[in-house]
Structure 1
Amino acid sequence: MRILYNIIAILLVILLIPYFIVRTIREKGFLGRIIQSFGFLPKHALDKVADKNCIWIHASSVGEIVATSPIIKEFRKEFPGTPILVSVVTNTGYIMANRIIKDADSIIYFPIDLPWLPERMIKKIKPRVFLPVETELWPNFLKAARKHNVPVMMVNGRISDKSVKRYKYMFSILSDMIGTVKKFAMQSDIDASYIIRLGADEKLVTVTGNTKFDQTYTDVSTKEKQVLLKELCLDNAQGIFLAGSTHKGEEEAVLKAFSKLKKTHVNAKLLIAPRSILRKDEIASICHKYGFKTDFRTKLKEKPSYDHDVVILDTIGELGRIYSLGDVIFVGGSLIRHGGHNILEPAAHGKAIIVGPHMFNFKDTHILFSKRNACITVKDAKELTNAVLDLFDNPEKRRQMEQETLNIIKDNKGASRRSAVILHQMLDEYEKVGPVQVRSTEKIENLQTYLYKLVHDESQKSVTEKAFLGMLYGFSLIYRGLVNFQLNLYQWGIKKQIKLDCFVISIGNITVGGTGKTPTAKLLARYIRDLGYNIAILNRGYRAKWKGEVGVVSDGNTVFMTADEAGDEAYLLARSLPDIPVLIGTDRTISGKYAVDNFNVDVVILDDGYQHWKLKRDLNILLVDAINVFGNGHMLPRGTLREPLNHLDRADMCLLTKVDQAAKGACEEIRSTLAKYNERALVVESTHKPLGFIEIGNLFSKEKNEILSIDTMRGHKIIAMSAIGNPASFEQTLSDIGAVITESLRFPDHHDYTEQEIREVMNQAEEQGAEAIVITDKDAVKIPQTLLSKKRPIPIYIISIEVTFINNAEAAFKFLRDKLPPKKGIKK
């Protein structure tokens, strides 16, 4: 998932280069902003904070800056000798921060979240702590913070309904970000429940309240109010209706209400503050249609004029103070489905507030004010008109609302102070015990894993994801055509299949992911060997460092290659079957001929050979994972099918694996699908039976492996660690035998572990009180050998698994015996 995120981020930056160039030419100061966003900070911005153990607070734009202002005042009191750095994303946020935050030592633009930039910035600044405001979480920045042991605390945390739905599609990136944050100081109980739902540890979440209740930058004295009224030429108005943060489609409703108001309050004035000042001319045009004269704040400041009915606020960062002028306030973004805007700014001035029905982005604040009759909610333009007239016609009702608004503000002050105290406590604990690396389930994930989840998840998807899946579906049609074409070339005789001078058994599947091919190959190899046949196993050597036509991993006496050289599957087969040759090579016709010529084999097993059509086989054994039935029915890359389902007709035997962990009806579904395409194949069900545990040090010793009882882990706390195709099955097996899994770490399939990674997992196990780390035998061969010779604080155990037929077992072995060629001295 992170790989995809980074690819998209890089592509977006590349695609936006022409846009950056245009804005650089047209917009004064934009070049400096972009230079900072790419990590090149001016010397004066760094001098006061770099290498000085600063507190770094990040607020995206104007709204977050408003919330940040009172927090910084409290931080300055709590940490008097510590520099404070503020970062923003938008230009309006930068202007606002410089205007209202006087206690910051430096204000900069936040680095673009490209893979390398955040780490470069963190190494340059070396902050003591990083505090994102509200929901300003950036994956690469948080990853860099974790790497450099910079603690993270979310302040004034807020999660909207939309964010909860959107974040779930981020999979491992979400758990990565949430797992990095040491403390969540949330605005409300609703926000706290949302962040917990997204994966935050309940013990790290606290409700501090909304710091915007503490804001003072909007405070306006009587004298300052008179100055503002005079600048706006509203000092002669007899009542001001103010509409703040309006969106397209809302000004008409406001103007309808104002038209009615003017009939009874002739000298009333309207002040409109659009959310986007780029719409100012459009709004002026709408006002003219309603017969009103308009003027702009910027023009009135230069050339005062009282010849207007409506004033349009076309400046940035003033609305908080301008709210003090209104007698009745409508807060926009709420009559349309935007989610509303913050009502605390007009509330700070003790105003009567009206909003529309769509306040879901500020649900908790809206509920609080509504319950205490300090806010009126209207459904449409008609109700807005009635509410405005009522409040202007009934001054006593308006005064009651204003007083209750001030009471609410007074009752809820203190969030900034609480945040400062919590930060002090968190830093004391963190700096006392030292940094702790946190890694959560499925945190380590690659693009392959993300795509697997995306194509299998049946939940509602975003427009982008739907488009991406549509593109994958197109590629899958191409892939299906190529697969069918290639197979047809062999079936038509255009491409020739090569026949070895021995009996060839193929074991494979038609889906991507683990189905149990390796343990099945071991079971059948041992059985055929015990019948008296000379047998060899041909493996393709996936991810083997050895390159060549034929690689002899084992000659049946000696293992010649390491796991790195042979690939984990081939090495594991060689270790498990010491008297059976194991060969690797991408072309099994060549490695098979080598096995016949050099080891005099009667039978070869193609491990994962269902798609190796070049080699003619005498028996096709198809494995179907009963947990993941034929993937999602789509071909690669839209799904996980390697071949279309009608290719099931090539199978002579179908082995259903892990049936004990399958969902109800799964086996019946597999049998029904097989019957549709292949009525002749023998169907056998199997389970992966756990035999016991082997301490990893014993596995690679020359002594006979000591297998501990399967009950060894019952009731004991363990960490499950795997880098296999189907980790859920492995984890389910551990749960079934009674092990208590404190955490499950899933690495990408065939992942090469580093010594540092294993040490981190062992440290984590100690911190969690786990008594052991349990891995699969496939993982065992990827553990660095240097670690095995050293003392380990936590034991690492391998769970030994065996494939067991649970129905048609005798029929299966008889079927195999009947298919094998006659051999002297063997009764069939």
Structure 2
Amino acid sequence: MQILYNIVAILLVILLIPYFIVRTIREKGFLKRMIQSFGFLPEHALDKVAGKNCIWIHASSVGEIVATSPIIKEFRREFPDTPILVSVVTNTGYTMANRIIKDADSIIYFPLDLPWLPERFIKKIRPRVFLPVETELWPNFLKATRKYNIPVMMVNGRISDKSVKRYKYMFSILSDMIGTVRKFAMQSEIDASYIIRLGADENLVTVTGNTKFDQTYTNVDEKERNNMLKELCLDKAKGIFLAGSTHKGEEEAVLEAYSELKKQHPNVKLLIAPRSILRKDEIASICHKHGFKTNFRTVLKEKPSYEQDVVILDTIGELGKVYSVGDVIYVGGSLIKHGGHNILEPAAHGKAIIVGPNMFNFKDTHVLFSKRDACITVKNSKELTEAVLELFNCPEKRHQMERETLQIIEDNRGASRRSAVILHELLDEYEKVNPVQVRSTEKIENLQTYLYKLVHDKNKKSIPAKLFLGVLYSFSLIYRSLVNFQLNLYKWGIAKQVKLDCFVISIGNITVGGTGKTPTAKLLARYIRDLGYKVAILNRGYRAKWKGEVGIVSDGNQIFMSADQAGDEAYLLARSLPDIPVLIGTDRTITGKYAVDNFNVDVVILDDGYQHWQLKRDLNILLVDAINIFGNGHMLPRGTLREPLNHLNRADVCLLTKVDQASKSACKEIRDTLAKYNDHALVVESTHKPLGFVEIGNLFSRKPNEILSVDMMKGHKVIAMSAIGNPASFEQTLNDIGAVITESLRFPDHHDYTEEEIRDVMHQAEEQGAEAIIITDKDAVKIPETLLCKKRPIPIYIISIEVTFIDETQVLFEYLKEKLPRLKG
């Protein structure tokens, strides 16, 4: 089908050569357009965008440029350092873009969709993303974006009835085009249903509204409006009837209405803005036949005259502002079967609007305005005359329509901002999974693995490796000095610690990597809650998309954030502890005060708070991984210590985790090290006990989680997938329960999984004959929600883990009881 399309496209260009020649002679700027469309751009046209990861927005003509203008303003706010490229198809669109879009770094003509041209442009520009406005989908261009892995997002998407019927005959080409688009930001529910009908995945379709509601380029103050009236020689008129974007066959109806209007209102003037300026002489002739004196906007600007009855707007890109001078507006293309034109430009000025019955190109907007009596629909010339007379004869009705029109505009603003946010989310997700990024990520992961092995390897090293470790060691000395200095500022009283009006417990560690802080925080929070205390958990919100001082993940009744917004740890805590508030924020003094003031808590738990010295704590619980112990004894970046070992002295409780997976000598080494630096801490050992498995689809349902037996995986082949600090411990747990791990996939800690990655893992599982994919609960909240409602060829199970204390259970809980303040009342 693509070959057939290309043959037709090439033949069409050849057949249209005579037409191109005629237009080149008649139409100024057409030759420049065609030269660029064939790929011959002016020198330096792409200097600011080519190879600079630009955002490429394509808008065909004037209407799309109007929609694009507010979007680009929001993109500039959202991506201040990213170049923006705008492409257009028509001369009028090019002129308009250069006039109203000031934030674009480059404006060019879009290449013809011939087999070789789009790829040439894509290869040279290499944009970060391509955004077609409305329905600007071109097969060869989209094929090139697929080849070079450029994400595509449709913005201000609009699909007319005509387009739905036309596109469905493109068969496989349509599937390829729709399949290329990663996100469809549509104007309305109608447009969304149409694009889904054409084959778009409904999970990729969202309704943002119409960005034309946000346009401001047509804004006109009173001074500018008065100047326009003078230039149009309409400042002495006692009313202006304006017909905008008229087509052949509509001017006669407009002039008939004007003839009747003029009988009752002799000083009313008519302003006609034809859709095609090339028809201006034809329209002037029609006006003369009706007995009206006529003049052109361009002539009046040079030679003012007040003799004419009708002014013809023969300029490009002015209509949006000129609408401001009209009292009653007729929007053309609607009395004939063209499908109408957008009524939002006159609506932005708060005008009373009349249209014909054929508004199928703007069905949703037309319905919106009609339902609120902000637009009159007429069926023919006679009804047009009646409507015009009514609005001029009844100013009260006209003013009511004007007020309602402005209110509709105000109620529907914000589509451009929503589009910018969606684009940011798309790029954040896409740039983690496209081939180039994945390769880059793999290199980083390999580098991380190499560094980890290098700093922990006790074997003889090469001279370059020794030199490199020497550099790392020098940086670790600097880091150590800074950590000691900062802590001493608090010890010396120079930096003040904040005391909250509640009991503060810190749970943390002094090494990089997972030690089991989150399950420990859950266990202690439940225990303290069951004692009758009001508890809140303060998490820093690592890798959370939400930014601010206080983020309420859960108020103890309802969860307000997703895993992406809150970060996986905080979201997991909120899900596991539905009746305990969970807050995120980098400054726990602020989130702590908020918890006390708003939730009246008795106890706050700082999840990963050992290094958060700003907040004075009543109890420091230090976790030590019995498998990893204290790293290699060196500070970052030479080792994995966050603080020097002598800082162990701040701990009130030392909890050794995963001791069942460690050797006795390791546990003894930990106890000996603790004894060296801390002679007062209570030392407790714990294990991570597997309780069973939860199918991932059940985890996010409203029903209680069904926990399957821990023995169900014994002897069965599984793939272990994790993005945690200590994947080896997770894998050891699976081995201990008898699962046969065919492959272990380790992603970076806190990694955000994508649909493509999960599908790849499922494919690997099928090839290897694995019966399930096993993940941790921390990984579960990072699985894309779109996968949860789909049938999966391979089940994904979450292993449910519980922290269990060895022997000293009652000792630790009694210790907590003794330390906690007495409950009030």
In 1, are the aligned partners of 2:128 and 2:150 still within 8 Å (CA)? Answer: yes
In 2, are the aligned partners of 1:67 and 1:211 still within 8 Å (CA)? Answer: yes
In 2, are the aligned partners of 1:23 and 1:30 still within 8 Å (CA)? Answer: yes
Q: Does 1:50 align with 2:44?
A: no
Q: Deviations over 1:676-696 (max 9, x none)?
A: xxxxxxxxxxxxxxxxxxxxx
Partner Cα separation in structure 2 for residue 436 and residue 367 of structure 1: 46
Q: Give the counterpart letter for 2:143 in structure 1.
A: K
Partner Cα separation in structure 1 for residue 758 and residue 276 of structure 2: 49
Q: Does 1:766 align with 2:768?
A: no
In 2, are the aligned partners of 1:50 and 1:125 still within 8 Å (CA)? Answer: yes
Partner Cα separation in structure 1 for residue 29 and residue 295 of structure 2: 28
**Cα distance change, pair 770–97 in 1 and its aligned pair in 2 (3 A):** same
In 1, are the aligned partners of 2:29 and 2:91 still within 8 Å (CA)? Answer: no
Q: Give the counterpart letter for 2:140 in structure 1.
A: N
Partner Cα separation in structure 2 for residue 27 and residue 45 of structure 1: 23
Shift of 1:17: 2.8
Where does residue 550 of structure 2 map in the other structure?
none
Partner Cα separation in structure 1 for residue 32 and residue 212 of structure 2: 30
**Cα distance change, pair 73–389 in 1 and its aligned pair in 2 (3 A):** same
**Cα distance change, pair 24–288 in 1 and its aligned pair in 2 (3 A):** closer
Specify the SS of the correspondent of 2:431: helix
The within-5 A match list for 1:377-396 is: 377-396=377-396
Specify the SS of the correspondent of 1:45: coil
**Cα distance change, pair 399–198 in 1 and its aligned pair in 2 (3 A):** same
Which shifted more, 257-266 or 73-82?
A: 257-266
Where does residue 783 of structure 2 map in the other structure?
none
Q: Deviations over 1:715-754 (max 9, x none)?
A: xxxxxxxxxxxxxxxxxxxxxxxxxxxxxxxxxxxxxxxx
Where does residue 340 of structure 2 map in the other structure?
340
Shift of 1:15: 2.0
Partner Cα separation in structure 2 for residue 28 and residue 433 of structure 1: 46
Q: Does 1:6 align with 2:1?
A: no
Q: Deviations over 1:768-823 (max 9, x none)?
A: 759769xxxxxxxxxxxxxxxxxxxxx9xxxxxxxxxxxxxxxxxxxxxxxxxxxx
Specify the SS of the correspondent of 1:245: strand
How many correspondences in the alignment? 450
Q: Deviations over 1:263-284 (max 9, x none)?
A: 1111000001111111111111
Q: Deviations over 1:284-335 (max 9, x none)?
A: 1111121111111111111111001111111111110110000000001111
**Cα distance change, pair 118–17 in 1 and its aligned pair in 2 (3 A):** same
Partner Cα separation in structure 2 for residue 418 and residue 300 of structure 1: 42
**Cα distance change, pair 28–335 in 1 and its aligned pair in 2 (3 A):** closer
Partner Cα separation in structure 2 for residue 764 and residue 23 of structure 1: 53
Where does residue 526 of structure 1 map in the other structure?
none
Where does residue 363 of structure 2 map in the other structure?
363
Q: Give the counterpart letter for 1:364 in structure 2.
A: D
List runs of 5+ in structure 1 lacking aligned partners.
438-761, 774-794, 796-828
Partner Cα separation in structure 2 for residue 340 and residue 22 of structure 1: 28
In 1, are the aligned partners of 2:33 and 2:90 still within 8 Å (CA)? Answer: no
Q: Does 1:103 align with 2:103?
A: yes
Where does residue 642 of structure 2 map in the other structure?
none
**Cα distance change, pair 51–386 in 1 and its aligned pair in 2 (3 A):** same
**Cα distance change, pair 28–395 in 1 and its aligned pair in 2 (3 A):** closer
Shift of 1:128: 0.2
Shift of 1:436: 10
The within-5 A match list for 1:73-84 is: 73-84=73-84
Q: Does 1:302 align with 2:296?
A: no
Shift of 1:20: 3.2
**Cα distance change, pair 359–258 in 1 and its aligned pair in 2 (3 A):** same
In 1, are the aligned partners of 2:48 and 2:83 still within 8 Å (CA)? Answer: yes
Partner Cα separation in structure 1 for residue 17 and residue 135 of structure 2: 27
In 2, are the aligned partners of 1:156 and 1:186 still within 8 Å (CA)? Answer: yes
Q: Deviations over 1:129-186 (max 9, x none)?
A: 0000000000000000011010000000000000001100000000000000000000
Where does residue 182 of structure 2 map in the other structure?
182
Q: Deviations over 1:585-633 (max 9, x none)?
A: xxxxxxxxxxxxxxxxxxxxxxxxxxxxxxxxxxxxxxxxxxxxxxxxx
Q: Deviations over 1:633-653 (max 9, x none)?
A: xxxxxxxxxxxxxxxxxxxxx
Partner Cα separation in structure 2 for residue 6 and residue 59 of structure 1: 22
**Cα distance change, pair 381–42 in 1 and its aligned pair in 2 (3 A):** same
Specify the SS of the correspondent of 1:122: helix
Shift of 1:766: 3.4
Q: Deviations over 1:183-202 (max 9, x none)?
A: 00000000000000000000
Q: Give the counterpart letter for 1:766 in structure 2.
A: D
Partner Cα separation in structure 2 for residue 24 and residue 281 of structure 1: 19
Where does residue 431 of structure 2 map in the other structure?
431
Specify the SS of the correspondent of 1:124: helix
Which shifted more, 33-42 or 100-109?
A: 33-42
Q: Give the counterpart letter for 1:392 in structure 2.
A: F
Q: Does 1:129 align with 2:109?
A: no
Partner Cα separation in structure 2 for residue 354 and residue 162 of structure 1: 23
**Cα distance change, pair 768–359 in 1 and its aligned pair in 2 (3 A):** farther
Where does residue 38 of structure 2 map in the other structure?
38
Q: Give the counterpart letter for 1:80 in structure 2.
A: P
Partner Cα separation in structure 1 for residue 2 and residue 240 of structure 2: 51
Q: Give the counterpart letter for 2:20 in structure 1.
A: F
Q: Give the counterpart letter for 2:181 in structure 1.
A: V
Partner Cα separation in structure 1 for residue 34 and residue 312 of structure 2: 31
Partner Cα separation in structure 2 for residue 18 and residue 340 of structure 1: 30
Q: Give the counterpart letter for 2:272 in structure 1.
A: I
Specify the SS of the correspondent of 2:124: helix
Where does residue 316 of structure 2 map in the other structure?
316
Q: Give the counterpart letter for 2:288 in structure 1.
A: H
Specify the SS of the correspondent of 1:432: coil
Shift of 1:763: 9.4
Where does residue 118 of structure 2 map in the other structure?
118
Shift of 1:367: 0.4
**Cα distance change, pair 231–90 in 1 and its aligned pair in 2 (3 A):** same
In 1, are the aligned partners of 2:185 and 2:206 still within 8 Å (CA)? Answer: yes
In 2, are the aligned partners of 1:765 and 1:772 still within 8 Å (CA)? Answer: no
Partner Cα separation in structure 1 for residue 24 and residue 279 of structure 2: 22
Where does residue 260 of structure 2 map in the other structure?
260
Q: Give the counterpart letter for 1:11 in structure 2.
A: L
Partner Cα separation in structure 2 for residue 110 and residue 188 of structure 1: 27
Specify the SS of the correspondent of 2:182: strand
Specify the SS of the correspondent of 1:433: coil
Specify the SS of the correspondent of 1:43: coil
Partner Cα separation in structure 1 for residue 288 and residue 330 of structure 2: 21
Partner Cα separation in structure 2 for residue 107 and residue 417 of structure 1: 22
Percent pairwise identity: 84
Partner Cα separation in structure 2 for residue 229 and residue 306 of structure 1: 11
Pairwise CA RMSD: 1.9
Where does residue 614 of structure 1 map in the other structure?
none
TM-score by structure 2 length? Answer: 0.53
Q: Give the counterpart letter for 1:194 in structure 2.
A: Y
Where does residue 780 of structure 2 map in the other structure?
none
TM-score by structure 1 length? Answer: 0.53
The within-5 A match list for 1:546-557 is: none
In 2, are the aligned partners of 1:765 and 1:771 still within 8 Å (CA)? Answer: no
Q: Give the counterpart letter for 1:43 in structure 2.
A: E
Q: Deviations over 1:377-425 (max 9, x none)?
A: 1111111111111111111111110000000000000000000000000
Where does residue 154 of structure 2 map in the other structure?
154
Partner Cα separation in structure 1 for residue 8 and residue 53 of structure 2: 33
In 2, are the aligned partners of 1:131 and 1:154 still within 8 Å (CA)? Answer: yes
Partner Cα separation in structure 2 for residue 29 and residue 318 of structure 1: 18
Shift of 1:433: 2.3
Which shifted more, 295-304 or 181-190?
A: 295-304
Partner Cα separation in structure 2 for residue 436 and residue 155 of structure 1: 25
Q: Does 1:247 align with 2:247?
A: yes
